[in-house]
Amino acid sequence: PISGRRVPLLLAEHVTATSGSGLVHTAPAHGAEDYEVGLAHSLSSVCPVDAAGKFTAELPEAAPFEGLEVLGDGQLRVLESLSSRGALLSCAPYAHRYPYDWRAKTPIIMRTTPQWFADLSPLRAAALDALNDVAMIPASGRVRLRAFVNSRTEWCLSRQRVWGVPLPAFHHVETGETLLTDESVAHVQDIFAKKGSDAWWELP
């Protein structure tokens, strides 16, 4: 209704007739099930939301909402825009399940971001075999980890966290070019050996 574009109706197994209307919007850049549906139907994956959860002008129709929080004033402005066009059929509070951050107890919005993945196909057998030599406490952890390795085709190596071992890849801020070579990795290894892993955060 905002962009004026025609959108298709698609079948998806995660949508059921036992909850809600049986129709849900699909945004391939903002949810695991949506992403899978997008892949199956070759839908574009556009993410007009920045790291702060605010609308960007990546899509022309999102430009009027640029800088507004998606889960705050942004959604109110979208509703106002739909209403002013006569495109809002109904608007009412509706209780349903929604993802929340378990620490902050606040609602979250999912978005696609560039990440590093390892293809598990050539590694799966060796990884499962190696798990047999690991002492797991509690022992149930082995079953859980084996299930992860068996069920996933890829493993995300990158994480946006301030703890753990960093992936020694460097990105040029302006060009987006990535530096990850044998020489750059060896350089990081040498620094870690001399100064410890905290050097990743402490050195300029």
Per residue in 34-91, pLDDT tens?
A: 888 888 888 888 889 998 999 998 888 888 999 999 999 999 999 999 999 898 988 9
Q: Report d(CA 115, CA 130) in Å as an integer.
A: 25
The predicted structure's pLDDT at residue 162? 64
């199956």: which residue's tokens?
A: 40
Phi-psi sector, 136: left (phi>0), alpha (psi -120 to 50), beta: beta
Query: Which residue, among 113, 138, 2, has the nearest Cα to 49 in the 3D structure?
Result: 113
CATH number at residue 107: 3.90.740.10
Same domain, 80 and 3: yes
Same domain, 30 and 61: yes
Same domain, 131 and 144: yes
Same domain, 145 and 167: no
The predicted structure's pLDDT at residue 101? 86
Query: Which residue, among 37, 30, 33, 31, has the nearest Cα to 8 in the 3D structure?
Result: 37
The predicted structure's pLDDT at residue 165? 66
Same domain, 66 and 167: no
User: Quick count: other Cβ atoms within 10 Å of Cβ 175?
Assistant: 7
Looking at the structure of the chain, the number of domains it has is 3
Domain encompassing residue 102: 1-112
Same domain, 204 and 143: no
- Of the three residues 94, 112, 130, the one that is the final residue of a domain is 112
Same domain, 15 and 106: yes
The predicted structure's pLDDT at residue 163? 65
Mean pLDDT by 10 residues, the chain (204 residues): 78 77 83 87 88 88 91 93 90 86 87 88 92 88 90 83 73 87 92 85 76
Same domain, 87 and 128: no
Same domain, 120 and 170: no
Same domain, 194 and 145: no
Same domain, 69 and 107: yes
CB 39 within 8 A of CB 32: no
DSSP readout, 45-86?
----B-TTSBB-SSSGGGGGGTTSBIIIIIHHHHHHHHHHTT
Query: Which residue, among 16, 35, 18, has the nearest Cα to 26 in the 3D structure?
Result: 35
Tell whether pTM > 0.85: no
Same domain, 9 and 81: yes
